[in-house]
Structure formats: structure tokens, C-alpha cells
Structure 1
Amino acid sequence: MTRDELARTVPAPATAGAGARPVVARTKGVRKVYRSTIAVDGVDLEVPEGAVVGMLGPNGSGKTTTIRMLLGLVRPTEGEVELFGQPMPESAESTLPHVGALVEGPGFHPFLSGRDNLLRFAAAEPLLPSAKITAAVTNALELVGLTAAADRRYRGYSLGMKQRLGLAAALLVPRKLVVLDEPTNGLDPAGTREVRRIIAELHARGTTVLVSSHLLSEVEATCTHVIVLSKGTVVAQGELSELLEAGNPTLEVVTPDATQAVEALRANRIPARLAPDGILVDLVTTPAPRVIETLVQAGVSVYEARRKRTGLEDLFARLTETQSDDLPTDLHLNDVDHVGVA
């Protein structure tokens, strides 16, 4: 297939149900076995178009294997993989030119400069005309902050600089989907902020981004959706904001009368406990207005009341640290799985 033919064959996201976002990537019942080791077991996931999706999981949870199957780098033992609605890896030739990926660290020639390495990558880009190669390389180097080091040999690059060059290679041409496996590995705080900025710019352009990361704070700051894997299976996925709301809803009340407040609420069978600046109230069975009404009637001074959302770190721990196949009794898969994908 020629470059012109590929440029005209821009893949469209797979259709979804009425009112649902189109899906850029999807797996159905995917299983991958290496000899006696089950790396991925029955994974069903969807990557919505235009989303920034964080893929989370402990080491060995199957994140990189799942990404490799999405990109057609390995075949699943069982199940189906789709990219832009096309089966993978059978459609790799037509779909992968529209994907930029940095998986398991970049691979470059150590004795070439960063610029020369990118020029070699750019020459192999099906969607990049020869006349635009030099400009594309220059723009990519500037985007990741490597212009000053562009003509240094790759073997002299730090780990963070190597990560930046790999990211530049993934962004040589506009992509429909960008896949980043641990993109901030080896980066200092300034480099991490740059990656966050790049992801935000891609999101603003409508590019779908799939990020595998162990930095929960970065995922919470950059991602619109998350997929959580544990022991080779998906334990939760959906819009980040809705998943964080799926934990126990809690009202944080700032009051100087904390002890009196707890006693008043418990007397009305409303679970509450002391907190540094006041109290925390369980809203599972009681709406927030009823809590405030009870406190006011008891003569408690209420300075402030706000809904306290489950943090991503707490949610991640509750989903992945459970030893049995069941989730904690206060967080069920039926409550959080696939939330917000539509």
C-alpha cells in the first residue's frame, strides 16, 4: 500500500450503542498464555474516542501484554482484538500508521544523534511525505524539549532524554491514537510536567491517548478514563470522575463541635467519625441535607460541608490489593465496571 493510499484510508472508530462514544480500541475475552503462565485472562476493555485513558495495575497485572496485543505485536491465545473497528493483527498495515506508540522503552542506534535517529524513523513513516521529513523531525524535537541535545549521540543521553526521544518518534505525524507505556519513566519533575502538557495538547486536538502508568497522581491529573487491571483481568473501567464517586460517598463537615456532632449523628443512626478539622459522615443511607439538618437541630456549628471523593490511590488499592476474587463488600464490580464508557 502506497503512502498516498494510506493517507486516504484514515480508519474510523468502531460504532457503539445509541448515545455512546465511538470506540477506538476494543478487546473481547482476550487471553494470553506463555507456556504455563497466564499473562492476560478474559480481558474485555474499550478505549473511547477522544479520551485520555490511564491503564493501571500492579507489576505483572498484564498492562504491557494487553497493549502489545492491541497493537498487533503479539497474538492473543484466545479472544478478539479490534483497532478502529478492524481485527488485529490482520489489519496492522492499514491501522498502525495512524497510531503513535512508545512501548517498553525506545530503541535507537546508540552511535547516531537524536536527530539522525528520528530522521531514520521519519523515512519509514508511511504517512509522511519525503519533502516534509526534516520539518517533522524538527517539530517533534521541539515538542519534547530536545532541540538543544538533538545533535548529541544517543548513547550519551540520560534515561529521561531517551524517553523524550521515544515520545518524539511517536509524534512525528498527527495520530488518531497515541499509546504511551510508562512515558514518564526516568523523567525529572520538569520532564514529567512536559509529558503532562503534551498529553493535554493531544487531548485538545481530539487525539485518543492510552497511557500505562504507575504514577497515580499523574493519571488523576491527566486522564479522563481509567482501566484497572489486576492478575490479568479488568476489575474496573470507565470515566475517572464516576469511578471515584463509586466508592463510599462521604460528607466532610468542618465544625468546632466535632465530638457533639458525632454523638448527635450516631443518636440518629447516621454513621460518623472524627476527622482533623471536624467529622466525616457516611452518606450511603443518608442524604447530605438530612445530615446538615440533624447537626443544626442539635446546635452544632457548621462552618463548611463538602462531599469527599474517593482518591484514585484509595480506589486503586481497594481494587488491586484484595486477595480473593471478590472485591471489598463496600465496592462491587457491578457498581463500577464499565461506568461512563457510554
Structure 2
Amino acid sequence: MSTDSDPAGVGATQDASTPAARTRGLRKTYGSTVAVDNVDLDVPEGSVLGMLGPNGSGKTTTIRMLLGLVRPTEGEAQLLGHSMPDAAAHALPEVGALVEGPGFHPFLSGRDNLLRIAAAEPRLARSEIAAAVGGALERVGLTGAAARKYRGYSLGMKQRLGLAAALLVPRRMVVLDEPTNGLDPSGTREIRRIIAELYAAGVTVLVSSHLLAEVEATCTHVAVLHAGTVVAQGELAELLESGSPGLIVSTPEGSEAVQALRDNRILSRLTPDGVRVDLTTATAPVALETLVRAGVPVYEARRARTGLEDLFARLTQNDPDSSTSDDPADTSETDMEAVR
């Protein structure tokens, strides 16, 4: 944390209670366009936090400010206990990042591109560069394509190479902006595996994604952005339990069950998992008693959990007055090498 004698937070240290990344009152405008508006975000140490939001919600701009690629119009951002962007030189060596797609030299091979980046990595000795590059290529499944020129890579291969660059050395934190973009199902599973490995090693991972299923499968925490601000954040399990209370009833007579419940003014509907009973106006015992009295066989009943898709839709309803966007004209500030 910064002090009066250390305004940039250069000498900052981080204890267990300090988030790996934090923003307070973060705001970014481009002329009359508000890209990020008063964002308060906490990324817990050792978590895998999924940053979700519709297009133009401010996800990428927030990540840019956390990494020191963009200076906030207002507010503050801290990364690993250091104020950004002033203390970027102290924080970024501990952070690997893939932001808005990788940028490499098209006429160099994948391996040569990584060798060039590794040569500038302050935490790699010259004698360690070849092994680090080879290990990173193997980790992302690009060993067989390492000698091919980057211009011949598919979109998914480019994403893999960008991820390899972020993982050249062990990091305290890894930031991934749409890491599965362009990947086939096999590649997506590999990204899941890598994120799981990082989490198991105690690395904090911040993932920006529009794939709700991937976030639900890989993340421990979620932050939902809408119209440039955070509308919900916290542990994924707790957020999924925060929706309307419900019950999933397994029965071979789904249609009859729904009709019996509706006849007793209990809202319900058929779902792939069974009959979902809305418990806002009735208790679980009353709903089950209603089914039994109607002669509907009940095989199983369990508490219904709000799906991430339902939660996301509820939190990000279309706002016709919103003028927020992820300033696409500002891509010149996202030089990937500046992150390393």
C-alpha cells in the first residue's frame, strides 16, 4: 500500500488479507464516452476470478488500467500491493498477461518469437532461456508447430503462443483476456487444465470471458460488469445461491406435476433437470405435499441453484440509456510487451 513517503507504492508488501488486485473509484473516459465508471473491484489472492460483462461493459479497459497500460481518469488501481501505473516496473515482473490477443512478428517462427521475448524477461538468465521457451511451448501444445512462421498460425495457435509468453516464468498472478478465443474444444480443455494448474500452485488468475460455461467450470470468484461498473462480485458459489429460491423435482410425470402445482398456485416449469418449482410463494414441504396428494410420483427433490447464465441475464438487462463502450480506438495502448 502506498504511504506519504512512498506515494507510488514502490516499497509495498502484501499480506494474506490484501487482494492480489484492487480498484477504488476507477473511472476512464475517452472524450464524452465513459468506458469505466466508478469500478470497485477486489481480486482475492490465490483465486480464479472470472470477469464477465456484455460487449462494451468495461472489462478490457479495467484490465488495461490494472496492468498500467492505461492511466485512469479518476480513482486508483493496485496490483500485488503496488499502485499502478506508477509502480508498474515493480509489479509487472510478477504478472503474466494475455490482453486483447497476442502481438508477434509475423515473419518469425513461434519459437523465435518466444526466444525474443524471453531475452527481455528480467527473471530469466541467458542459460535458462532455451529451456523456458521449450517448456512453455510444450505446456500450451505448440511444440510441433514451433518452427512455423507466426503468420501461418491459426487464431487458436496465436492464442496459445500468447499464453506461452505469459507463462515463460512462474508468476504470482496471470491475467487472461478471452483466452479461449479461436480455440477448438480440445484447446479449450487445455486452457482449463492450465488454469487449474495455476490455481493449484497458488497463482491468482484473472480471466475475462464471454463464455459463461467456461467461467462456471474454472473460476472460484466472479465479477459482473455492466455499463462500465461492477454490478456483482464475490464467490461464485455464493452468487449462484443468491437467485430466487427453487426446488428441482425428479419425476416421470413432469407435465402432470407442473399442472398439479399450478392448480395450487405454485409456479413451476419443466426443465432438462426435472420440474423446477418456484419457492417464492410456497415452501418445499407444501410443494411436495401437493404433488403427493395429486398422485405424482416424486423420485428426488433437491434445492435448485441459479445457473450462471440466469444470474448474468438478471444482472445485465439491456440499458437503453447506456453509452458505455470498451474504447476500440484505444488499442495502441495495449502493446503486449509492455505487460511483461
TM-score of the alignment, normalized to the shorter chain, above 0.5: yes
2:314 equivalent among 306, 315, 318: 318
Q: C-alpha distance in 1, partners of 2:241/2:109?
A: 48
TM-score scaled by length of structure 2: 0.85
The answer to whether the aligner puts 1:34 opposite 2:67 as a matched pair is no
Deviations, residues 22-79 of structure 1 (Å, cap 9, x unaligned): 4100000100011111100010111011111111111111111000000011111001
Cα 1:279–1:162 shift into 2, 3 Å: closer
| CA distance in structure 2 between the aligned counterparts of 1:134 and 1:298, rounded to whole angstroms | 72
User: Which residue matches 1:102?
Assistant: 98
1 CA distance for matches of 2:251 and 2:320?
Answer: 39
1:130 corresponds to = 126
Deviates more, 1:92-101 or 1:243-252: 243-252
| C-alpha distance 73-278 of structure 1, shift in aligned 2 (>3 A) | closer
> Cα gap change, 1:190/1:256 in structure 2, threshold over 3 Å: closer, same or farther?
closer
Deviation at 1:201, TM superposition (A): 0.8
How many residues get paired? 313
The match for 1:288 is 284
In structure 2, the partner of 1:116 is 112
| Partner in structure 2 of residue 182 of structure 1 | 178
**2:16–2:45 CA contact under 8 A, matched in 1:** no
> Within 1, Cα distance between the matches of 2:26 and 2:310?
28
1:172 and 2:186 equivalent?
A: no
Distance in 1 (CA, whole Å) between partners of 2:273 and 2:92 is: 53
CA contact (8 A) 1:230 1:320 kept: yes
The equivalent of 1:141 in structure 2 is: 137
Amino acid at match of 1:104: E
| Aligned-partner residue type, residue 126 of structure 1 | P
Question: Partner amino acid for 1:54?
Answer: G
Q: Does 1:213 align with 2:209?
A: yes
The one-letter code matched in structure 2 to 1:271 is L
Amino acid at match of 2:220: T
What displacement does 1:300 show?
A: 3.4
Helix, strand or coil: the match of 2:20? Answer: strand
- 1:237 counterpart residue number: 233
Residue 46 of structure 2 is aligned to residue 47 of structure 1: no
| Partner secondary structure for residue 23 of structure 1 | coil
Check 1:139–1:252 CA distance in 2 against 1; reply closer, same or farther (3 A cut): same
Assess, with a 3 A threshold, how the Cα gap between structure 1 residues 194 and 295 changes in structure 2: closer, same or farther: same
Could you say what the CA RMSD is over the residues aligned between the two structures, in angstroms? Answer: 2.4
- Percent of aligned pairs with the same residue? 73
Q: Secondary structure at the match of 1:209?
A: strand
**Unpaired segments of 5 or more residues in structure 1?**
1-8, 17-21, 326-342
d(CA) in 1 for partners of 2:269, 2:190: 41
Partner of 2:242: 246
Does 1 or 2 have the higher relative contact order (CA < 8 Å, sep 6+)? 2
Distance 1:130 1:277 in 2: 56
Which residue pairs with 1:223 in the alignment? 219
Q: Is the 8 A contact 1:106 1:162 kept in 2?
A: yes
Cα distance, 1:285 vs. partner? 4.7
Query: Is the Cα contact below 8 Å between 1:10 and 1:98 reproduced in 2?
Result: no
2:192 counterpart (180, 196, 211): 196
Partner residue of 1:78 out of 59, 71, 74: 74
Provide the C-alpha distance between the structure 1 equivalents of 2:273 and 2:172, rounded to a whole number of angstroms. Answer: 47
* Segment of structure 1 superposing worse, 283-292 or 26-35: 283-292
- Tell me which amino acid in the other structure corresponds to 2:194: I
Cα gap change, 1:25 to 1:174, in 2 (>3 Å): same
Closer/same/farther in 2, CA of residues 305 and 97 from structure 1, 3 Å limit: same
Q: Which moved more, 1:243-252 or 1:30-39?
A: 243-252
Distance (Å, rounded) in 1 between the aligned partners of 2:54 and 2:15: 30
CA contact 1:257–1:300 (8 Å) conserved in 2:
yes
Alpha carbons of structure 1 residues 270 and 173: separation in structure 2 relative to 1, 3 Å: same
Separation (CA, whole Å) in 2 of partners of 1:243 and 1:277: 20
After TM superposition, the score normalised by the length of structure 1 is 0.84
Going from structure 1 to structure 2, the CA distance change for 1:192 and 1:276 (only over 3 Å counts) comes to closer
Q: What is the Cα deviation at residue 284 of structure 1?
A: 2.8
Q: Mark the CA change 1:278 to 1:207 in structure 2 (over 3 Å): closer, same or farther.
A: closer
8 A Cα contact 1:255 1:278, kept in partner? yes
